[in-house]
Structure 1
């Protein structure tokens, strides 16, 4: 009987100290293109929902993205470019942007930006819009979820 009571107390103690944790992983790839540029957005996130021993709910999240913008034409068409600005928007509030100025002839067709943080998580049904400005040119297009 003592063993049974001790076992029940020990089990209760372990249950009270352990967390009820639910982790949700998100991994999306969006692709799209315009006439001159194509882009890819890789997005990964982790949501953690936890209920502690006092039945208190907590939520945290972390995400990171890798955005790649590639010129579709020949590199020599970009060689004289002096300025490149691009941004991608994730719905009404999120996104990223980059601005580059070139003093030397451009020697690459691919431009990347990375980022991440905490806060709200992007969902797979979000509209990703891209805007590219290079010298006196401009192009906009949307990215779609790659199935």
Structure 2
């Protein structure tokens, strides 16, 4: 060990006054540290960007979930209309049976009007059912494709 290093180790000489003999040896290490630091900064920036993208993806998933809930609400609403329509049909059938029993001719016109309203209501419900079903099929198709794509992501 050189005397200067020995004196530095003993505290007699400041380490700052050591000769720069090793400067060339340390230059490579310093360069590697600089390169690593630059890489770390780049990685941190990439991670920040990925986190923002993840948050936006979660927001999209929340919107998708809301869309599914809205579709479910539409199904519940349509089910209630079907139930009410079925109830209407039952009452109409009861009115027809009563009309056939008593044979009141004035009641016949009322039954025809009621039946025309029933048919119109049924046609509108059939159209709504087709819309709900088509919406469900499209939603299911999109979600299935999304899940297939997600299987490819690690």
Q: TM-score when scaled to structure 2?
A: 0.26
Pair member with larger Rg: 2
Write 1 or 2 for the structure with the bigger share of helix: 2
Write 1 or 2 for the structure with the bigger share of strand: 1
Q: TM-score when scaled to structure 1?
A: 0.27
The higher-RCO structure (CA 8 Å, 6+ apart) is 1
